[in-house]
Amino acid sequence: MKAKQTAGSGRLLAVGVPVVGLVVAAAVLGLRAARRGPGEDEAAFLSSEPTRTLEARLSHPGADRYRPYHAVSRGQGASPTGASLEVLARLEAQGDMRGLASAYLLSGAPELAASYLERAGSSPEVLNDQAVLALAKGDATGALSRLDRAFQERPGSAQALWNRGLALRELELWALAAESFEAVATRGEPGWADEARSRAQALRERVRAEQQSWNEASAAGKALVLGQGSVTSEQLRARPDVFRLYLYDAIRAAPSEQTLRALWPLAETLDAHFGGSALRDAIRWAERRDFQRRAPLAALYAHYFQQKSVPGGLAAYLEQLRAAGERDLLMGVLVLSGEVEKDVEGYARLAAETRDPWFHLIAENERARAAIGRGALFQAEQLLLAATSQCSGGTLAYRCGLLLERLSTLYRRLWRLPEAARSVKQARALYLRGGFWGPGTHILQHLGQIARLQGQGVLARALLDEVLARYPEDCAMRRFVRANDALSFLEELRLDEARASLDDTLKCQDLPLLSEMMTVAELARLRPELARDQRVMERLQSHRASNKLDPGQRALLSHIEGRFLIEQDRSRGEQMLRQAIAEAEQAPRASVDAREARAYSYASLLFAAGKAGEWSRALALFGEEVGGALPSRCLLAVTVDRERTLALALGPDGRMEASYDAGRRKPLGEEVRGVVPAALAEPLRGCEQVSVLARPPLHGRAGVLPDDIAWRYLVLPGTRLPSGEVQPLHLVVKDVESPAALGLPRLGAWEPAGANATVLSGSVATPSRVLEAMSRATEIEIHAHGLINPTLSDASLLVLTPDASGRYALTAGEVRTHRLEGHPLVTLAACRAAHTGVQVHEPFSLPTAFIEAGARTVLAATVDIPDAEAGPFFLEVQERIRTGQAAAVALRDVRMEWLSRAPDSWVRSVLVFE
Give the span between the Cα atoms of 565 and 733, in whole angstroms: 53
Give the span between the Cα atoms of 885 and 877, in whole angstroms: 9
pLDDT at 720: 58
Instruction: Return all residues near 646 (Cβ < 8 A) that are at least 6 apart.
Output: 606, 607, 610, 618, 638, 639, 640, 658, 659, 660
Give the span between the Cα atoms of 63 and 107, in whole angstroms: 11
Instruction: List residues bridging with 713 in a β-sheet.
Output: 692, 913
Tally of CB atoms within 10 A around 905: 16
Instruction: Return all residues near 311 (Cβ < 8 A) that are at least 6 apart.
Output: 300
Torsion on CA atoms 229, 232, 238, 243, rounded to nearest 10: 30
Judged by DSSP in three states, 666 sits in: coil
The amino acid present at 222, given as its one-letter code, is K
Q: How are strands ordered across the β-sheet holding 809-810?
A: 785-787, 797-799, 809-810
Instruction: Return all residues near 805 (Cβ < 8 A) that are at least 6 apart.
Output: none
For the chain, what is the largest distance between any 2 Cα atoms, rounded to a whole number of angstroms?
Answer: 95
Give the span between the Cα atoms of 779 and 757, in whole angstroms: 9
Give the span between the Cα atoms of 319 and 339, in whole angstroms: 13
Tally of CB atoms within 10 A around 227: 16
pLDDT at 839: 59
Would you say how long the chain is, in residues?
A: 914
pLDDT at 41: 43
Tally of CB atoms within 10 A around 740: 8
Give the span between the Cα atoms of 180 and 195, in whole angstroms: 13
Confirm if 814 and 823 have CB atoms less than 8 A apart: no
Q: Helix, strand, coil: what percent of the chain each, to 5? A: 55, 10, 35
pLDDT at 116: 87
Kindly state the DSSP code that residue 312 receives in the 8-state scheme.
T
Q: What angle do CA 229, 235, 241 make, to 5 degrees?
A: 100
Q: Which of 831, 4, 878, 883 is nearest to 894 (CA)?
A: 878
Give the span between the Cα atoms of 427 and 397, in whole angstroms: 8
Average pLDDT, 10 consecutive residues per value, the chain (914 residues): 34 33 46 40 60 89 87 48 66 80 83 86 92 94 96 93 97 96 96 96 95 92 92 88 95 95 94 93 95 95 91 92 95 93 93 94 94 82 90 83 93 82 91 86 89 90 93 87 90 92 80 84 89 81 80 92 93 96 89 89 96 96 91 95 94 96 86 89 94 90 92 77 69 87 72 72 90 91 72 65 84 85 88 65 78 90 82 90 93 94 90 91
Rg for the chain (alpha carbons), in Å? 31
pLDDT at 260: 95
Q: Which of 641, 647, 715, 712 is nearest to 678 (CA)?
A: 647
Instruction: List residues bridging with 123 in a β-sheet.
Output: none
Confirm if 297 and 326 have CB atoms less than 8 A apart: yes
